[in-house]
Structure formats: structure tokens, C-alpha cells
Structure 1
Amino acid sequence: MKTDDLIAMLASGPDVAAAPPPGARWRAAGTLSAGVLGSVALMAMLLGVRPNLEQLARLPDFWIKVGFVACLCLAAWQASRRLCMPGAPTRALPLLLALPLLLMWALGALILQEAPAGQRAELFWGATWRSCPLLIATLSLPILAAVLRLMRQLAPTRLRLAGAAAGFAAGALAALVYCLHCPELAASFVGFWYVLGMLVPTAIGAALGPRVLAW
């Protein structure tokens, strides 16, 4: 077959995704797992697992918090994936990220509205608002390093945006780890202070993206 014929056949045929190198998915899973384990180890050293975690896990509010953070993890991971695939559709990503946020904020606003006036401040500020965002940001650092390393092996083109997505994914996973320690359950607290903690690694990722992800 002539070279020109081969090129024409490939151009006119169905889209064929490039096959990843053998073992690439296992290495990616290992890299991400190492980042998450690093975050868990950091949480265990700095904070420890909540002594009454078993009791908290019996409350619906605990699972609402975990479900919210897990949804953000999935949305952020999907955004990171697509931003590393040139030509992948990204139009739906803002809605994918915004949907769990809007639902949590609506729930938080409803709870605040129905709560007695004297309890509203406690529901929003909780007892750990000073430390919560900083702790989530700190726990996200091993995961951020792992996600950026994975992204370097792919082909991101919008480097700052890809770095921001990596940071948000790291922050969401770190928030999930932080749930093992955090005593706060109020939707208004989680919807604000947890998200603020996730935005710190998002900003770090956006700053590092053009330098770390250039190829």
C-alpha cells in the first residue's frame, strides 16, 4: 500500500483513539493511589480519625456531606480528564461542577432559613472555620503532585485551566479524606468552608499549570 493511500484511509476512516502504552492505566492508578495514601497519612499524623466517627456515620447529614464531596471528586476528575484530551468536549464541564455546588448551597440556605435566629451563626461558622480550609488545602498537596504528574504524561493544551482542574480534583479528594476527622455536618458550613479549602489548591494548580504541564 502506498503512503498516500494509507494516509487517506486513516483520514477517512472512523476515529481511532491512540492506545495507551502497556501498563499505563495501572501506573496511573498507582500514582493517584500514592497521592491519596500520602494525604491519608498526613491526616493521620496531623489530626487523626475522629473518635466518634462511627456515631457520626449514623447521621444522614454525614452522608450528605460525604456524597457532596464525592460528587465534586467525580466532576473534578472528569474535568481533569477531558482537559488532557485535545478536542474532547468541555462545554458541559461548568454545569457538571456547578450542579452539586448549587444543590448544597440551596440545602444550606434552606436549613439556615428554617433554623432559629440564634442558631444560624453556629450553623454557618461551626467550631472549625478557622482551620478547615487550611487543613483541606494542606491535605491536598500530595494528591495535587500526583494529579499533575499524571497530567504531564497526557496532552493538555489549556495549561492554566488544566492545572486549576487538577487542583480542584486534589482539593475535593483531600476534603473526602478530611471527612474522617471533621466534626462539622451542617450543609451551610460544608458548602462554604469546604469549598473554600478546595479553591486553595485550585489556585495553586492554575499557577503551576503553565510551568509544570508544558510539553
Structure 2
Amino acid sequence: MLNLRTSLAGTLGSFLLLSAAEAATLSAGIRNFDYQYDYAGAGFIGGGNGGLLPFAFFNPALGTLTGVRFTLDSRHTATITVSATNLSPQDNLAVQGGYSGDVFMDLLDPNLVYGTLYSEVLSLGAGCDTGAPGSCSASDSFNLVLANVNDIDFTYFALFEGTGSYSVSMNVGGQLFAEQVFPGSGPATGSGSGRWFGTLSVVYEYDPAATAIPVPATPALVALGLGALARLRYRR
């Protein structure tokens, strides 16, 4: 009789588990991006590059949206070189330069006050000192992993429901400068290059609209199971 009770209780537990909706996940897309840029000249040099990555809206017919996650997995590399040539015979002539760049992702549609999903400011600096007439050059570089996981606040979930797709704007840019510490002693130039590449993915988490056994049936199952146990005890 103990085995029968255990079996009945286990069966009842299985019914109760089936009555609860199990969370599911759905990919809105995985997008690759690769932005490359070069800069050269003297003085301040501005530049930028970017693009739009499309992602599918969540279909509300599938169930109740419970999570929206953006995952960035990328790398940003950049270099800078500053140099001066044909310098005048002035002692301790120095050349300095720098690069200040940034990368950022903006959600364009839906038009959220959430705005920027991710941003990063990066910089390089280089300088050289001749100490005597002649030329000099110096360089600097970085090779960085840029990773970010952004879980959207639940108050915005409804804005990700619909048909079609929305876009995320990927942008990279910066400024380079190269100059001599002592103006008029000769020209200074700067040059460099950069690359931001990787993947951006969006995943939805949701509770399915349909379940194996409707949740309202749960109380009836409990009553049925308890009644069966009572009858077994009475017969014993």
C-alpha cells in the first residue's frame, strides 16, 4: 500500500509540474560587424564609421515576454604614430600626440528613453624628444576585448513586441592630434588606424502562452488526489 501511495503522489506531482508554464528563450538574431578606419594628418583629425544591425521583434502570440538581453562580444584595436622631420637646431625639441576614440551602441527603434545600450571611451598617447637637431617618432597601441551584457528593464518589454524588426546603431570614431611643443620649429604629423569587430546578439525570455494542463485545473487535481488517498486509507 505504501508503494501505491508513493506512486499516486508522484503522479499527482507530475500533473502539478505540467500545469506550470516553463520559461523558454528565443533568439532575435546574432549579427556580425567589422568597422575599420584610418586617420592621418597634422592637427585635429576627426573620423567615424558605423552601421545598423537589425533584430526581430518578439511575437506576443508566443507568450508573455519576461526578459530582453543584448550581448556584445567584440574587440577594438587601434594604433597611433607621431613624428617630426627636418627639425631646426633647437635643443630638447619635443613632439606629442594623442588619440581619443569612442564606441557606442544606440537602440533606434523602438524609440526608448533607454537610449544608449553601451559606450566606451578609449585613448592613446605618444611623444618623442629629439634632444638635438634631427627627427623623432613614437607610437602607441591597444588591443582590447569589449564585452557587455545588457538586460533591458521590464518596464520596456512591451516596446519589443510586434512584427518586423528594429535596429541597433553601431558607431566608432575619434580624434587624433599631433603637434610640436615649440611651435614654428617644424611640422609634426600623426597617423593611425583602428578596427572594432565582433558580434551582437539579442535573446528573449518568455513564458509560453499554452501549457500541457491549464493552471486553473490545478485545484481540481489536488482535490482529486487527496480524495483518492482518503479512499485508499479507508479501504485499508
TM-score range relative to shorter protein: under 0.3
TM-score by length of 1: 0.22
Higher relative contact order (CA 8 A, sep 6+): 2
TM-score by length of 2: 0.20
> If each structure's helix is expressed as a fraction of its own residues, which one has the higher value?
1
